[in-house]
Amino acid sequence: MNKTFFLIIICVLIVFSTISLIVVLTNRNSLKRDVITEKETAIKIGRALLEEYAAIDADTVLDAVEKKGIWTVYNVFEKEGITDDGNYWEIVGGGIYVEFRKSNGKVIKMWVTE
């Protein structure tokens, strides 16, 4: 009877340990999930930051790209023209941007031209 009792206790401990390990590993993996996964969300966050520090308005066109876990949100404008000697020139891009982590939203860098 003692052997049966100990066997039952050992089986219960093994099952409990296995379930506990599964729960811990599941929670750990869910904490590693990125917070800002959508481009639209990144643009909204970038707009809020840039409106605060760069005095952009609601009409400013922003775009976002994600590379290696970093979102970069920047203003978009195109300017083109022809120089005095007849050469075509074009500027694509913007003068302001903000970079922040995809995993937690922490701001890495902000560039604002005056």
27 and 45 assigned to the same domain: no
Cα–Cα distance measured from residue 63 to residue 34, given in angstroms and rounded to the nearest whole number: 20
Alpha-carbon torsion, ordered 68, 71, 73, 79, to 10 deg:
10
26-82 pLDDT per residue, tens: 665 555 678 899 999 999 999 999 888 877 888 888 999 999 999 999 988 767 777
28 and 81 assigned to the same domain: no
Q: Quickly list DSSP for 58-69.
A: TT--EEEEEETT
Cα–Cα distance measured from residue 27 to residue 57, given in angstroms and rounded to the nearest whole number: 41
Domain, as residue range, for 4: 1-33
Q: How far is CA 14 from the centre of its chain?
A: 40
62 and 87 assigned to the same domain: yes
90 and 54 assigned to the same domain: yes
pTM of the model: 0.61
In this model, does residue 90 exceed pLDDT 90?
no
56 and 106 assigned to the same domain: yes
